[in-house]
C-alpha cells in the first residue's frame, strides 16, 4: 500500500476515483463546488433528486460524470453541520472504507481536506479518514480455497491538498500518513494473530511469530519456557498451563529507540491462545471465540511493531505471557493454592479467572526493567461488557496521570476507553481464609476486583490496566478480531514521544 501527499493539485486531473464530501441539503464544500462547476451543475442536479441525503455514513459511487476526467466520483456524506463531529467522522470514514472495499477500487484520489472536523487539525482528520479506508481492506481468508475471481486490493491513495502547505503543516500531514499506515499494519497483524485457530496459534507459535517480527526490525527478543519460569517462581502462569499439552511461553521484546538510560514503557498483554475455562469449564456456546483470549498479547506485540516502524524515540518493552487453559487430569482445581513470582499465595476459586493469574507473574517480571510506566491489556472480564458494552474499553490504574494519558489517547485515536474506580474498599472482596488472596471477588464489580487483583502485583511502579473484553473482537456475521486497542496504544506512544 502506498499513500502519498500531493500539493498544488487541481481536481480536473485524470484519476481512477476521486473522493469528495457532500453536506446535507445539497450544501457543497469547496471541492464539491469545483466539481459542480466542471460538470456544468451535474452534482447539484444529482443531489436535488434527494436519493443521496449526505448523512454521515452514506456513500454514492458515480460513473462518467460529465466534464470530469476522473473515471469514478465517490461521494461521502458528512452531515449538516459546519464542522463534522468526531463520532460522525468515524462513521463516515468506516462507510467510505466499506464502499471502497466492496467496489474493489485500487487507486483513490482523496480530496477531503476541505471538511472541517471539530477539535481536529486537518492532518488528524486525514489520519482517521485513511484508517477507515485501510481498516475495511482487511481480509482473513488464508484457510479458504482460492476464489475463482480474486479480489482487487487497494494499492495507492493520493491525499490531495490544493495549496502548498507550510513546512510545519506538511510535516504534520506526513506524520499523519505514516501513523495511519503503521496503525493499519500493526492492527492487521494483531487481527491475523488473533483470528488464527487455536490448533495453529499455540504459545510456541505465537512466540515464533513475535520473534520473526522482531528480527525483521532489530527488536531484541527473549523467550522463556517452563524451566525458566520455574526458576523465577512463576507458579501462577505454570498453574494455568499445567492442564495443557502445549508448553507456556513468556515472550519479551525490547525496542530501544530512546536514550540508553531512559526507563522503558512496558506493555504487558494477556496471551491465552485458547481458554476453555479449565476445570471451571465454559459453556459450549461461542467457546470457539475463546481463541480471541490472546488479543491483549497480540495488541502488545503489534504496538511495539508500530513503535519500531515509526522509529519513535522511546524505549518500549512488550511482555506476553502465553498459555492455554484446558481441563485435564493435571489441571489446576478449584481450591488449589499457587504461589506467585511476587511471593503472594493465591487461592484459585474459579479456574476460568486465569488471565489475571498469568498477568500477575508477568507484571512481577516487568519490575526488573525499572519501568517508567507499565500498561497491561487483557480480555479479562465479561463484567466489562455488561458495564461498557462493545464500544468502549475500561481503564483502571494506580496513577491518575497515566490513566488520563490513556483516556486522551483513546479520544485522539477514536479507540476510546472509560475510567472505572479502583478504591481500596474493593480489595475486601479478594480475601481468602487460606491464602493471601483469592483470584475472584464474586459477581459485584467484577471488572474492578479483577483490576484490584492485578494491582497487588504493581505497587512498586506506575501502572494502568485496559480491560478490552468488549472491544477486542466481534461476533456474528462479521466475526473476527478488531485490532483494538492498537490505535490507542500507538497514539499513547506517539504522545509520549512528543513529550520527550
Report the catalytic residues: 282, 356
Q: What angle do CA 67, 70, 72 make, to 5 degrees?
A: 110
Bridge partners, residue 62, by sequence: 73
180, 132 Cβ separation under 8 angstroms: no
Q: What distance in Å separates the CA atoms of residue 385 and residue 392, rounded to the nearest whole number?
A: 9
- Compute the CA torsion angle 393, 398, 404, 407 (nearest 10 deg): -10
Give the phi and the psi of residue 259 in degrees, each rounded to 5.
-65, 150
CA–chain centroid gap for 345, Å, is 33
Q: What distance in Å separates the CA atoms of residue 154 and residue 152, rounded to the nearest whole number?
A: 7
17, 107 Cβ separation under 8 angstroms: yes
Give the phi and the psi of residue 113 in degrees, each rounded to 5.
-70, -15
- Alpha carbon distances (Å) from 357 to 201, 207, 299, 324: 20, 19, 19, 12
Amino acid at each position: 500500500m502506498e499513500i502519498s501527499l500531493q500539493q498544488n493539485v487541481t481536481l480536473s486531473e485524470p484519476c481512477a476515483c476521486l473522493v469528495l464530501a457532500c453536506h446535507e441539503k445539497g450544501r457543497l464544500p469547496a471541492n464539491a463546488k469545483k466539481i459542480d462547476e466542471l460538470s456544468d451543475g451535474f452534482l447539484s442536479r444529482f443531489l436535488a433528486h434527494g436519493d443521496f441525503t449526505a448523512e454521515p455514513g452514506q456513500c454514492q459511487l458515480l460513473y462518467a460524470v460529465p466534464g470530469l476526467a476522473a473515471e469514478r466520483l465517490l461521494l461521502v456524506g458528512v452531515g449538516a453541520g459546519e464542522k463534522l463531529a468526531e463520532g460522525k467522522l468515524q462513521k463516515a470514514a468506516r462507510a467510505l472504507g466499506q464502499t471502497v472495499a466492496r467496489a474493489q477500487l485500487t487507486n483513490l484520489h482523496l480530496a477531503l481536506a476541505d471538511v472541517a472536523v471539530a477539535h481536529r487539525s486537518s492532518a488528524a482528520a486525514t489520519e482517521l479518514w485513511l484508517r477507515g479506508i485501510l481498516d475495511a481492506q482487511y481480509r482473513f481468508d488464508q484457510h479458504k480455497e482460492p476464489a475463482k475471481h480474486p479480489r482487487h486490493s487497494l494499492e495507492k491513495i493520493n491525499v490531495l491538498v490544493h495549496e502548498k502547505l507550510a513546512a510545519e503543516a506538511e510535516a504534520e500531514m506526513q506524520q499523519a500518513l505514516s501513523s495511519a499506515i503503521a496503525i493499519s499494519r500493526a492492527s492487521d497483524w494483531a487481527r491475523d494473530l488473533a483470528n488464527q485457530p487455536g490448533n495453529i496459534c499455540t504459545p510456541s507459535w505465537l512466540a515464533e511469530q513475535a520473534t520473526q517480527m522482531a528480527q525483521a526490525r532489530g527488536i531484541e527478543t527473549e523467550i522463556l519456557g517452563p524451566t525458566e519460569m520455574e526458576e523465577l517462581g512463576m507458579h501462577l502462569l505454570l498453574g494455568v498451563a499445567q492442564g495443557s499439552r502445549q508448553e507456556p511461553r513468556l515472550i519479551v521484546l525490547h525496542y530501544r529507540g530512546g536514550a540508553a538510560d531512559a526507563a522503558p514503557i512496558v506493555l504487558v498483554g494477556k496471551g491465552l491462545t485458547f481458554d476453555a475455562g479449565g476445570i471451571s469449564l465454559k459453556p459450549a456456546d461461542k467457546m470457539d471465540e475463546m481463541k480471541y483470549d490472546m488479543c491483549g498479547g497480540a495488541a502488545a506485540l503489534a504496538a511495539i511493531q508500530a513503535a519500531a516502524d515509526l522509529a519513535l524515540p522511546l524505549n518500549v518493552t512488550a511482555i506476553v505471557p502465553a498459555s492455554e487453559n484446558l481441563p485435564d487430569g493435571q489441571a489446576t482445581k478449584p481450591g488449589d493454592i499457587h504461589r506467585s513470582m511476587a511471593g503472594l499465595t493465591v487461592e484459585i476459586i474459579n479456574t476460568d479467572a486465569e488471565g489475571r493469574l498469568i498477568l500477575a507473574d508477568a507484571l512481577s517480571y516487568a519490575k526488573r526493567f525499572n519501568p517508567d510506566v507499565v500498561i497491561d491489556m487483557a480480555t479479562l472480564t465479561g463484567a466489562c461488557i455488561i458495564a461498557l458494552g462493545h464500544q468502549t474499553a475500561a481503564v483502571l490504574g494506580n496513577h491518575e496521570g497515566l490513566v488520563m494519558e490513556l483516556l486522551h489517547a483513546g479520544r485522539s485515536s477514536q479507540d476510546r476507553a472509560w475510567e472505572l474506580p479502583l478504591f481500596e474498599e474493593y480489595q475486601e472482596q479478594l480475601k481468602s481464609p487460606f491464602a493471601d488472596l483469592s483470584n475472584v471477588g464474586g459477581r459485584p464489580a467484577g471488572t474492578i476486583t479483577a483490576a484490584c487483583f492485578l494491582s497487588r502485583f504493581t505497587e512498586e511502579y506506575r501502572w494502568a490496566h485496559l480491560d478490552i473484553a468488549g472491544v477486542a473482537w466481534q461476533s456474528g456475521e462479521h466475526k473476527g478480531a478488531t485490532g483494538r486497542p492498537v490505535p490507542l496504544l500507538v497514539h499513547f506512544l506517539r504522545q509520549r514521544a512528543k513529550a520527550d
